[in-house]
């Protein structure tokens, strides 16, 4: 590959990267399970510029969660994980919109999320509604 061909290829990659970065704020991301994995994914995506999240979890923040999750603290104990995580996301970027479902994701409930949401999803839920 010649130097000119290399720069041409790099230019094409830069244009594609710019187009991708411009689309990030318009992305919608669904997170099923707002614990250690799902919460970390949501936080990282919010920091990358995603502005719309569909959060789904049936669980509340417990004291033990505060030592395992960087984003839950003692003030969150007893709160629904989706509500606490939603507040943390909005603290990163006040333009963030969250849609919340308090249901477990099952074939019967399909999570209970309403509306026409076409989203990148991340399933990070614990087993069962135990």
Question: What is the tens place of the pLDDT at every residue in 25-42?
Answer: 888 898 999 988 899 999
At 64 the three-state DSSP class reads helix
The predicted pLDDT at position 34 comes to 92
Nearest of 86, 118, 79 to residue 100 by alpha carbon: 86
**pLDDT over 50 (residue 118):** no
* Cα–Cα distance for residue pair 87/79, rounded to 1 Å: 11
Could you give all domains of the chain from N- to C-terminal order, each with its CATH number?
Answer: 24-123 (3.40.50.720)
What pTM did the predictor assign?
0.73
Question: What is the tens place of the pLDDT at every residue in 3-27?
Answer: 777 667 767 666 766 676 777 888 8
As to burial, measured by CB atoms within 10 angstroms (0-12 exposed, 13-18 middle, 19+ buried), residue 84 is: buried
**Is 128 in contact with 83 (CB distance < 8 Å)?**
no
At 79 the three-state DSSP class reads coil
**pLDDT over 70 (residue 110):** no
């Amino acid at each position: 590959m010649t130097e000119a061909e290399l720069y041409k290829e790099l230019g094409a990659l830069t244009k594609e990267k710019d187009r991708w970065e411009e689309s990030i704020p318009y992305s919608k991301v669904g997170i099923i399970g707002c614990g250690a994995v799902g919460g970390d994914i949501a936080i990282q995506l919010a920091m990358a510029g995603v502005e719309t999240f569909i959060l789904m979890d049936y669980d509340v923040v417990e004291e033990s969660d505060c030592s395992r999750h960087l984003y839950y603290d003692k003030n969150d104990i007893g709160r629904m994980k989706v509500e606490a995580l939603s507040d943390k996301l909005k603290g990163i970027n006040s333009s963030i919109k969250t849609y919340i479902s308090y249901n477990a994701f099952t074939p019967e409930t399909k999570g209970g999320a309403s509306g026409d949401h076409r989203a990148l999803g991340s399933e990070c839920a614990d087993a069962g509604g135990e």
